[in-house]
């Protein structure tokens, strides 16, 4: 089973069932293929609801859930374990469809000529149809990448060893924007900040400052929490690096307080 087989089966089915299939079905199914591919074609894999909805721009949980149910009913996915809500992950498996009707789509496609696109290569699938396969995009030149606005950089164009820094920088930058919007503060500078200015402080924290990803998440939770002070102080990853030790210390205190409160609550409950 591979991506070409799955996509061919899907479009055969889609063409034969135009009254049933909606764009949301295609979006979810192909995101599932993408995730399975990135996980090394695992037989069963986690399919986080919030991740899929954010990646596909689906705002309504019920719309997403119904489409996922349809994909299972039509035999394209197998639901191994259902999530309890929109914040937990489903566990699914992709199913190879061998009975999808292909004659109608083959006939329709045969009447259309595909235009040759430069920098593409062609392959055949069982001698029936030609597939245009795009040549893999090379990572952007380092100097060019550093000058680009962070929000204009695609993950596919980043070197593997830079991905984790990019993902954290993007996550924090989105949070900074959210905090600015909450205060109706200007956000143009934050939207246009360059890749290097966002990513480099994250990289230095993780590689030279002794900060780990658990501590970064701790800092993120504080900046996304009820503490308004830090939201007005930390608005870029450079400032985040300057204040990370204070955030970590505060996060530990909050965690210890919560744990102490739980212990007290348990003692009171046992006493009662």
Q: Which domains does the chain have, with CATH numbers?
A: 3-134 (1.10.10), 142-271 (no CATH)
pLDDT attached to residue 94: 93
Q: Has residue 176 got a pLDDT over 90? A: yes
Confidence of residue 109 (pLDDT cuts 50, 70, 90): low
Among 75, 112, 118, 117, smallest CA distance to 93 is for: 75
Backbone Cα Rg of the chain: 24
Average of per-residue pLDDT across 229-244: 92
Per residue in 57-96, pLDDT (tens digit) is 999 999 999 999 999 999 999 999 887 766 667 899 998 7
Cα–Cα distance, 169 to 147 (Å, whole number): 15
Determine if residue 98 is left, alpha or beta; phi over 0 gives left, psi from -120 to 50 gives alpha, anything else beta: alpha
User: 199 with 169: CB under 8 angstroms?
Assistant: yes
- Tokens 């979006």, located at residue: 27
Percent of the chain with pLDDT over 70: 75
Which residues contact residue 101 at a Cβ distance below 8 angstroms, ignoring those fewer than 6 apart?
Answer: 12, 13, 16
Q: How far apart are the first and last CA of the chain?
A: 59
Q: Which of 120-129, 143-152, 258-267 has the highest mean pLDDT?
A: 143-152
Overall pTM > 0.75: no
- Show the tokens assigned to 147: 């000058």
User: 68 with 77: CB under 8 angstroms?
Assistant: yes
Percent of the chain with pLDDT over 90: 39
Among 102, 79, 98, 85, smallest CA distance to 32 is for: 79
pLDDT attached to residue 98: 53
Q: Which of 103-117, 121-135, 167-181, 222-236 has the highest mean pLDDT?
A: 167-181
Q: For residue 222, count other CB atoms closer than 10 A to its CB.
A: 20
- Tokens 């909050």, located at residue: 254
Confidence of residue 15 (pLDDT cuts 50, 70, 90): confident
- Show the tokens assigned to 89: 């992950």
Name the E strands within 145-269: none
Per residue in 115-146, pLDDT (tens digit) is 444 444 444 434 434 444 444 445 566 678 88
pLDDT attached to residue 89: 78
pLDDT attached to residue 114: 46
Average of per-residue pLDDT across 36-60: 90
pLDDT attached to residue 161: 84
User: 106 with 129: CB under 8 angstroms?
Assistant: yes
pLDDT attached to residue 125: 39
- Tokens 């089973």, located at residue: 1
Q: Has residue 149 got a pLDDT over 70? A: yes
Among 200, 194, 125, smallest CA distance to 162 is for: 200
């Amino acid at each position: 089973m591979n991506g070409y087989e799955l996509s061919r089966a899907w479009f055969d089915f889609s063409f034969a069932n135009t009254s049933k299939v909606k764009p949301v079905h295609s979006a979810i199914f192909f995101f599932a293929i993408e995730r399975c591919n990135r996980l090394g074609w695992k037989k069963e894999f986690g399919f986080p609801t919030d991740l899929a909805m954010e990646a596909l721009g689906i705002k309504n949980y019920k719309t997403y859930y119904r489409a996922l149910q349809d994909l299972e009913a039509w035999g394209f996915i197998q639901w191994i374990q259902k999530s309890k809500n929109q914040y937990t992950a489903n566990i699914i498996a992709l199913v190879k469809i061998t009975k999808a009707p292909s004659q109608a789509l083959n006939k329709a496609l045969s009447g259309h000529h595909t235009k040759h696109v430069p920098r593409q290569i062609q392959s055949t699938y069982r001698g029936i149809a030609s597939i245009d396969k795009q040549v893999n995009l090379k990572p952007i030149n380092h100097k060019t990448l550093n000058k680009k606005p962070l929000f204009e950089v695609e993950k596919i164009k980043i070197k593997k060893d830079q991905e984790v820094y990019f993902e954290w920088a993007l996550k924090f930058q989105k949070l900074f924007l959210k905090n600015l919007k909450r205060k109706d503060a200007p956000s143009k500078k934050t939207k246009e900040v360059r890749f290097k200015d966002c990513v480099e402080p994250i990289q230095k924290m993780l590689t030279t400052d002794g900060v780990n990803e658990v501590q970064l998440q701790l800092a993120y939770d504080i900046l996304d929490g009820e503490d308004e002070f830090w939201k007005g102080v930390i608005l870029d990853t450079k400032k985040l690096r300057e204040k990370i030790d204070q955030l970590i210390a505060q996060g530990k205190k909050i965690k210890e307080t919560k744990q102490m409160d739980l212990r007290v609550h348990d003692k009171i409950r046992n006493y009662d």
